[in-house]
């Protein structure tokens, strides 16, 4: 720690590992350092005395930040978790999970948004949904009763709005119960594969992340196996899903290689092979087109440079002495 008034070091602290992040608390007397798998709390007023150690991560802690009006501490790590601590007790009160290692983290002023940058270059933006409270007019219900004078409005009891519980999709329930095969069956329904193929691909991605794809694809035959093959044939050429579906196709071929299949499954496998050959041919044609365009662009740039050089040579030509002594007048 340095004192800027005297441009000198005041004291040193040994964190015990390469320091990734340092954060001062608003009080000004306590600061934190993150490095390795630990977060250490230091007292600046007593010359850097160690107050506490927080060891809640399994891999390197990359960054620290404050939230909830400086009442919460957030720490991100390469273990794909973000821990939220209570500043008063340094106890973990909540954990956020991410699909990849987190390198940077920040929270908006009112804790409405959490932004995390991950090691694969993706940025995750999570927004908290605010609870919508009914207005004063919605809380009061007005009823009308018939009287000799006409209709009279009388206020009745306050209306209690029934909260609609979000229905959890079937495949989410199966994933939570580790029923991977049933989860795949749920997202291979025709109304999902035709209208929301991204949901099916998302389940495949989650199974790959959990290393449960082999268990989900094994033991299939007949309609269940043909449904997977038909989905691959239809969407493996879609650039949004190609990478994930290639992994699924490789796993499927590894599982069912050398197994006797029915005529329908054999035909679908041949169609999948034909579709892959078509995609391969298309990729080669696009690469050839890319090379031709690069050749044209490089030739155009060379031509422009040559024209510029020739113009420079023309401007450098000087008239001879006889030309300088003779005036030539062109009349048009």
3-state secondary structure 240-287: CCHHHHHHHHHHHHHHHCCCCCCHHHHHHHHHHHHHHHHHHHHHHHHH
At 53, the pLDDT band (50, 70, 90 cuts) reads: very high
266-315 confidence digits (pLDDT tens): 888 889 889 889 988 998 999 999 988 988 888 887 766 666 555 555 45
Q: What is the largest CA-CA distance in the chain?
A: 122
Q: How far apart are CA 111 and CA 96, in angstroms?
A: 14
Token representation of residue 160: 């209690």
Q: How far apart are CA 35 and CA 17, in angstroms?
A: 5
177-206 confidence digits (pLDDT tens): 888 899 999 998 888 888 889 999 999 999
Q: Class for domain 19-127, per CATH?
A: mainly beta
Token representation of residue 41: 């709390």
Q: How far apart are CA 300 and CA 138, in angstroms?
A: 69
Residue pair 31/19 in contact by the 8 Å Cβ criterion: no
Residue 117 φ/ψ, nearest 5 degrees: -100, 130
Rg of the chain over all Cα atoms, to the nearest angstrom: 34
What pLDDT score was predicted for residue 256? 84
């Amino acid at each position: 720690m340095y004192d800027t008034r005297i441009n000198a070091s005041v004291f040193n602290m040994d964190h015990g590992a390469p320091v990734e992040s340092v954060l001062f608390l608003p009080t000004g007397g306590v600061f934190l350092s993150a490095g390795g798998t630990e977060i250490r709390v230091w007292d600046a007023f007593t010359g850097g005395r160690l107050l506490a150690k927080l060891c809640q991560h399994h891999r390197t802690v990359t960054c620290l930040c404050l939230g909830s009006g400086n009442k919460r501490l957030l720490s991100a790590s390469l273990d794909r978790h973000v821990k939220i601590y209570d500043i008063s007790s340094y106890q973990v009160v909540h954990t956020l999970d991410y699909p990849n290692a987190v390198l940077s983290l920040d929270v908006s002023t009112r804790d409405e948004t959490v932004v995390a940058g991950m090691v694969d270059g993706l940025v995750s933006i999570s927004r908290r949904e605010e609870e919508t409270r009914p207005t004063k007019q919605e809380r009061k219900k007005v009823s009308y009763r018939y009287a000799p004078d006409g209709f009279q409005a009388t206020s009745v009891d306050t209306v209690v709005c029934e909260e609609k519980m979000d229905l959890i999709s079937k495949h989410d329930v199966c994933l939570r119960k580790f029923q991977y095969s049933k989860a795949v069956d749920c997202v291979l329904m025709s109304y999902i594969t035709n209208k929301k193929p991204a949901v099916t691909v998302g389940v495949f991605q989650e199974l790959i992340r959990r290393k449960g794809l082999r268990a989900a694809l094994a033991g299939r035959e007949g309609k269940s196996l043909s449904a997977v093959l038909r989905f691959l044939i239809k969407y493996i050429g879609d650039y949004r899903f190609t990478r994930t579906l290639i992994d699924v196709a490789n796993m499927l071929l590894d599982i069912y290689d050398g197994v006797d299949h029915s005529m329908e499954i054999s035909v679908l496998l041949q169609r999948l092979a034909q579709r892959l050959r078509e995609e391969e041919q298309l990729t080669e044609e696009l690469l050839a087109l890319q090379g031709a365009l690069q050749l044209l662009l490089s030739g155009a740039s060379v031509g422009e440079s040559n024209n510029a050089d020739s113009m420079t040579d023309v401007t450098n030509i000087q008239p001879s002495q006889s030309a300088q002594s003779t005036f030539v007048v062109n009349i048009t």
